[in-house]
C-alpha cells in the first residue's frame, strides 16, 4: 500500500523530502490556476521527484451540483478542465467529495438531489476516464454535508450508478465521526479505489496506535483486497515533523 499526503502547492518539496510515495492536490485550486501558474506547479512536482497521483476537493464551494442552482454547463466545463490538468500531472484518482457543492437545500427533494448528484458523477467519470483517472465517491460526515454521510450510502450509490469509472473511497476520519463499523469496508471489494486517513480527534496527523483503531482500519482494507493508495488528509502546525512521524507510523501498519 502506498502512503501519500493531501497538501497545497507550497508543501510539494517538503512532502517529497519527507519521503511520501505521492501527493494529492486540491483539484478546485488546480482548475483556478492560470496556464503559467499551472506550469509552475507542474515543474515544481517534476523537480521534486514525487508524483501527483490523486486530487481532492473537486469543486469550489460556490459551484453547486445539487439544488436549484445547478448549472450543467459549468459542471461539465469544470470537469473537463480538472480532468485535463489531472491527466497532465499523471494522476490516477479524482475524489468527488465537495460537501458544500452537494449540500441538499432545505425543502429540496432528496430524490431529485440523488438524480442531480448521479448526473454530475457520470459527467465527471466520463471526463476523467479520458485521461486514465478514476473518479471516487467520498462519504462525508454530517458536519460537512447532508448527503452521502457513510461508506454504506456511498457504496449503495456506486453500485446503483454502475459506472466503470465511478468507484469508491473510504475515509477513516469520516467513519469515526459517524461511528461507522469497519466491517463495511470489505463489502466494497473491487469498487474500493482510494482511501483517506486522519486522527478524528482534531483531524490531525496519525501518530500512534493509541489515538484511533488504525490497525482495524488497515486490516479491513486488506480484507477488501485493497492494496493501492492511502492519503493523509489532515491539518498540522508542524508539517516537517508530523509528516515524517506519521509516514513512519503508517508504514509500520502496512507491513
CB 144 within 8 A of CB 99: yes
Mean pLDDT of the chain: 98
Q: Which residues contact 29 (CB under 8 A, 6 or more apart)?
A: 8, 9, 57
In the chain, % of residues over pLDDT 90: 100
Angstrom distance (rounded) from CA 183 to CA 2 = 22
Question: Residue 236 — φ and ψ, nearest 5°?
Answer: -160, 150
Q: Which three cell numbers stand for residue 104?
A: 441538499
Structure confidence by residue, pLDDT tens digits, 28-40: 999 999 999 999 9
Question: Residue 35 — φ and ψ, nearest 5°?
Answer: -60, -40
Identify the three-state secondary structure at position 215: helix
Q: 87: closest CA among 121, 55, 119? A: 55
DSSP string, 118-187: HHHHHHHHHHHHTTT-EEEE----TTT-SS--SHHHHHHHHHHH--TTEEEEEEHHHHHHTT--TTHHHH
Which of 176-201 are b and which e, b meaning 16 or more Cβ less than 10 Å from the residue's Cβ?
bbbebebebbbebeebbbbbbbbbbe
Angstrom distance (rounded) from CA 229 to CA 1 = 6
Mean pLDDT across the stretch 100-122?
98
Confidence category of residue 99, pLDDT binned at 50, 70, 90? very high
Structure confidence by residue, pLDDT tens digits, 52-83: 999 999 999 999 999 999 999 999 999 999 99
Q: Around Cβ 238, how many Cβ atoms within 10 Å?
A: 9
Mean pLDDT across the stretch 227-238?
97
Mean pLDDT across the stretch 203-220?
97
Is the full-model pTM beyond 0.85?
yes
Q: At residue 189, does pLDDT exceed 90?
A: yes
Confidence category of residue 4, pLDDT binned at 50, 70, 90? very high
Angstrom distance (rounded) from CA 139 to CA 189 = 16
Q: At residue 89, does pLDDT exceed 90?
A: yes
Q: Which domains does the chain have, with CATH numbers?
A: 2-254 (3.20.20.150)
Confidence category of residue 255, pLDDT binned at 50, 70, 90? confident
The pLDDT, as a whole number, for residue 196 is: 98
Identify the three-state secondary structure at position 96: strand
Could you tell me the CA-to-CA distances from 231 to 37, 91, 103, 243, 254 in Å, in that order?
25, 13, 24, 11, 13
The pLDDT, as a whole number, for residue 72 is: 98
Mean pLDDT across the stretch 230-244?
98
Q: 158: closest CA among 124, 185, 132, 121? A: 121
Q: Around Cβ 107, how many Cβ atoms within 10 Å?
A: 7
Mean pLDDT across the stretch 147-173?
98
Mean pLDDT across the stretch 196-216?
97
Mean pLDDT across the stretch 77-102?
98
Q: At residue 237, does pLDDT exceed 90?
A: yes
Amino acid at each position: 500500500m502506498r502512503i501519500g499526503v493531501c497538501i497545497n502547492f507550497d508543501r510539494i518539496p517538503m512532502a517529497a523530502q519527507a519521503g511520501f510515495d505521492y501527493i494529492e492536490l486540491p483539484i478546485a485550486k488546480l482548475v483556478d490556476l492560470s496556464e503559467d501558474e499551472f506550469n509552475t506547479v507542474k515543474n515544481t512536482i517534476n523537480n521534486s521527484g514525487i508524483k501527483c497521483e490523486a486530487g481532492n476537493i473537486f469543486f469550489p464551494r460556490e459551484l453547486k451540483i445539487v439544488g436549484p442552482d445547478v448549472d450543467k454547463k459549468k459542471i461539465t466545463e469544470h470537469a473537463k478542465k480538472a480532468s485535463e490538468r489531472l491527466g497532465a500531472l499523471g494522476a490516477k484518482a479524482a475524489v468527488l467529495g465537495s460537501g458544500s457543492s452537494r449540500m441538499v437545500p432545505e425543502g429540496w427533494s432528496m430524490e431529485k438531489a440523488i438524480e442531480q448528484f448521479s448526473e454530475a458523477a457520470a459527467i465527471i467519470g466520463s471526463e476523467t476516464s479520458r485521461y486514465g483517472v478514476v473518479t471516487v465517491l467520498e462519504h462525508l460526515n454530517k458536519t460537512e454535508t447532508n448527503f452521502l454521510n457513510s461508506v454504506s450510502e456511498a457504496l449503495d450509490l456506486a453500485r446503483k450508478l454502475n459506472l466503470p469509472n465511478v468507484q469508491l473511497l473510504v475515509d477513516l476520519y469520516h467513519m469515526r465521526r459517524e461511528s461507522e463499523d469497519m466491517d463495511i469496508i470489505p463489502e466494497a471489494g473491487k469498487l474500493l479505489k482510494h482511501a483517506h486517513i486522519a486522527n478524528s480527534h482534531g483531524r490531525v496527523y496519525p501518530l500512534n496506535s493509541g489515538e484511533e483503531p488504525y490497525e482495524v482500519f488497515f486490516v479491513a482494507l486488506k480484507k477488501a483486497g485493497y492494496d493501492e493508495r492511502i492519503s493523509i488528509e489532515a491539518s498540522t502546525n508542524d508539517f516537517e515533523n508530523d509528516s515524517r512521524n506519521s509516514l513512519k507510523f503508517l508504514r509500520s501498519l502496512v507491513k
